[in-house]
Chains A and B, each alone.
Chain A
Amino acid sequence: MQTGTKISVAGHTLLAGWVVFGAWFPSEPLPAQVQEVSLISAAEFARLSQQVAAPELAEQPGPTPENAPEPEVAPPPPEPDFQPEPEPEPEPEPEPEPEPEPIVVPPEVVRPPERPTVLPQVTEPETQQKTERVAPVPVAPPDPEAVAGEIEQPAIAPDETGDAPAEAQEATAPEAASDRIVTEENEGEAQVASTEVTRSLRPRSRPARAPEPAPEAEPAPEPVETVEAPEPDTQPAESAAVEDALAEALAGGADVEAEVPSGPPLTLGEKDALRVAVSSCWNVGSLSSEALRTTVEVAVSLAQDGKPDIGSIRMIGSTGGSAAAAKQAYEAARRAIIRCGARGFQLPTEKYGQWRDIEMVFNPERMRIR
Chain B
Amino acid sequence: MRQVLAGLMAGLMVLGTGSVVMAQSGPLRIEITDGVIEPLPIAVPNFVPDSPAATELAVNIARVVAEDLTGTGLFREIPSSAYISQVTNFDAPVQYADWKAINAQALVTGAVGVNGNRLTVRFLGHDIFAQGDLGEGLQFSGTTEGWRRMAHKVADAIYSRITGESGYFDSRVVYVSESGDKANRRKRLAVMDYDGANVQYLTDSASIVLAPRFSPTGDRVLYTSYETGFPQIHVLDIGQVQRRILSSDDGIMSFAPRFAPDGRTVVYSQSQGGNTDLFRMDISTGQRNRLTSAPSIETAPSFSPDGSQIVFESDRSGSQQLYVMSVNGGEARRISFGKEGRYGTPVWSPRGDLIAFTKQNKGRFHIGVMRTDGSEERLLTSSFLDEGPTWSPNGRVIMFARQSQGAAGRSTLYSVDITGRNLKPVRTPDGASDPAWSPLQ
Contact = CB atoms under 8 A, between A and B. Distances in A.
B295 interface: no
Interface residues of A: mostly helix, strand, loop or mixed? mixed
* Chain B: number of interface residues, binned into ranges: 35 or more
A370 B381 contact: no
B423 interface: yes
A286 interface: yes
Interface string A266-290: 1000010011001111111111111
Contact of A185 (B18, B21, B351, B382): B382
Interface residues of A, number: 66
Contacts of B423: 183-184
A337 B48 CA distance: 33
B30 A360 contact: yes
A265 B24 contact: yes
A288 B33 contact: no
A183 B35 contact: no
Interface in B16-34: 16-18, 20-21, 23-24, 26-34
Nearest to A301: B27
Nearest to B162: A286
Contact of A328 (B131, B164, B420, B421): B164
A271 B24 CA distance: 13
Interface stretch (A62-70, A158-166, A248-256): A248-256
Nearest to A338: B129
A363 B29 CA distance: 13
Residue in B27, B29, B37, B163 with the greatest tally of chain A CB atoms within 10 Å:
B37
Interface string A354-370: 11011111111111001
Interface in B33-62: 33-40
B380 interface: yes
Contacts of A254: 20-21, 24
B129 A335 contact: yes
Nearest to A178: B37
Contacts of B296: none
B36 A358 contact: no
Contact of A283 (B29, B32, B35, B419): B35
B36 A135 contact: yes
Contact of A366 (B23, B29, B34, B382): B34
Q: Which 5 A-B pairs rank lowest in CB-CB distance, beginning with the nearest?
A: A183-B420, A282-B35, A328-B164, A357-B27, A134-B37
Given A181-B420, A286-B75, A354-B28, 13 more contacts: A177-B36, A184-B383, A285-B37, A285-B40, A286-B162, A287-B164, A290-B164, A290-B165, A291-B164, A336-B32, A355-B28, A360-B29, A363-B33
Interface of B: 13, 16-18, 20-21, 23-24, 26-40, 73-76, 105, 127, 129-131, 162-165, 351, 353, 366, 368, 378-383, 416, 419-421, 423
